[in-house]
Copies of this chain bind each other. A is one copy, B any other.
Amino acid sequence: MNETVSAVRVAVVQFDPQVGIQHSQANLEHSLELAREAAINGANLIVLPELANTGYLFGTRQEAFLHAELIPEGPSMQAWLDFARKHQVYLAAGLAERDGVQLFDSAVLVGPGGFIGKYRKAHLWNREKLWFTPGNLGFPVFDTPIGRIGLLICWDIWFPEVPRLLSLQGADIICSLNNWIWTPPPLFDDSGKCMASYLTMTAAHANNVFIAAANRIGEEQGERYLGCSLITGTNGWPIGKVASADEQTILYADIDLTSARSAPIWNSLNDLHRDRRVDVYESMLGYTDHPLLPR
């Protein structure tokens, strides 16, 4: 791949890590094996799910602590760094991060040249709040030779502010690392998509940004995962298929990352970013203090 152009093969890896410290090494090896398959198939940017090396359903904070590692010193980190260097690819992966006594549900971006950056999940889901600290790094976008890459994790995409803030910083693609869980029905419509698929599609469409969303599958302690991994174009529609809930799979899309920098061809008068009415939004920010609202 010529790094001066923006053509990229993106791969999202959907698999089934298992929680439990006895599974950590197998999870890591499994993630590397699938990432290797993607690299052999020409992927330049590979996205693994949230908490790809640990599984998801910790039972206690102590258990979460045991699974966590330092960034970038930890063993999974080192393995992913080695992998990215060896295969000359960019890799986004989710892991439990330890920083002193705090734990974060984090995502890292590594590349051929080493560690690029990390993101700490800002919106914590359910019992994650019992062991993780809410992310404190904002919503960073990382400049790389292939384009500008943002990261978000799972429940984050329920908050339209997240893809918006990533896009406003110029993200060409958002890597969305997920453990989308089986929530109250309805889960899927007739097309096999879940609401998370649509949140991903509309976030891409409304922000004119690519989104590569990797979810996991399988079951842990009675909780099931939704699959539904997908890669969207900047128009929001899936490129290729949306994965089902019962398949380990790798999805690919060949895209021109920097095409996200051109306005969508609607007409000569509209642009999704330029048309924002920041004047009105800002004058209404006070409404976030409306007495009707929980803060």
Stretch at the interface among A48-56, A75-83, A121-129: A121-129
Stretch at the interface among A4-12, A15-23, A246-254, A276-284: A276-284
Q: Is the interface of A mostly helix, strand, loop or mixed?
A: loop
Provide the bound-state CA to CA distance between A269 and B274, in Å. 37
- Which listed residue (B139, B164, B201, B293) contacts A280, Cβ 8 A? B139
Q: What is the chain B residue whose CB lies nearest that of A191?
A: B191
- Which listed residue (B169, B276, B292) contacts A287, Cβ 8 A? B169
| Residues in B neighbouring A282, C-beta threshold 8 A | 285
A170 contacts B290, C-beta separation under 8 Å: yes
A216 within 8 A of B: no
Copies in the complex: 2
Q: Per-residue 0/1 for A131-145: is the Cβ within 8 Å of any B Cβ (1 yes, 0 no)?
A: 000110011000000
- What residues make up the interface of A, taking CB atoms closer than 8 Å to B? 122-127, 129-130, 134-135, 138-139, 155, 158-161, 164-165, 168-170, 183-184, 186, 189-191, 195, 198-199, 201-203, 205-206, 235-237, 265-267, 269-278, 280-285, 287-288, 290, 292-295
User: Which 7 A/B pairs are nearest by Cβ-Cβ distance?
Assistant: A160-B160, A170-B292, A202-B202, A126-B267, A274-B294, A122-B277, A161-B281
